Amino acid sequence: MINEPAESQQEQGAEKNSQRPGYVLLNGRQSREWSVEFVAEHLKLSPNQVQALENCDFSSLPEPPFIRGYVRNYARLLQLDPDRLVASFDEVMKEFWQDEPILAGKFNSQPQSRKPVAVVGFCIFVMMLVGVSGYYWWNSQSLDSVKGSKENVELYDDSYLPETEEEKSVGESVRETNPDVTPENTAGSDVLLIPETKEISHY
């Protein structure tokens, strides 16, 4: 008679545990004769995290969004309905976090998004791309302006200017007076050739 209350409590505890979603995972693993280490290796978790899922020990697990992901992957590994198990875990997690006021705000929390980091990185990349493009554009413009200046100088070089009518007449008169004088002989010389004149005797 004394042992009846203890036995009834054990039965109630076993029945309560069988209704917990973690027991479904535990029973599924044991029915396949899988070790905790085997499941942990496939789920990329530690053995302690696998046991915490099976025992619904949320104090040693991260925030609910991550727990939902663990449960979903565990259910798929056991070929069970992942949505049903996640819903069952949500009910248990609500009770757990309601009993822990400090952690109550974490239940509806979401993992921190990495989008801001990605956006900042993209903006930096665009700024660098614009800066490099602007540098090459400015450099090309500078080269074009220097090239244009050289062309202008060449256009106004005196060596390219045509002879005037006066210069032509002087050159012809010199050649008539001194037949030996040719443009080739006078080229490159700065000496002005004066035509010879005959002295006229006054006597």
Please identify which residue in the block is written with the tokens 């990349």.
Answer: 125
The model carries a pTM of: 0.45
For residue 185, give both structure tokens.
């002989």
Structure confidence at residue 38 (pLDDT): 96
In order along the chain (203 residues), what is the average pLDDT of each group of 10 residues?
49 54 93 95 95 90 90 94 91 73 45 57 80 77 65 53 61 59 51 53 51
Query: Which CATH architecture fits 13-106?
Result: Orthogonal Bundle (1.10)
8 A C-beta contact, residue 42 and residue 77? yes
Contact 177, 196 (CB under 8 A): yes
Return the pLDDT at 54.
93
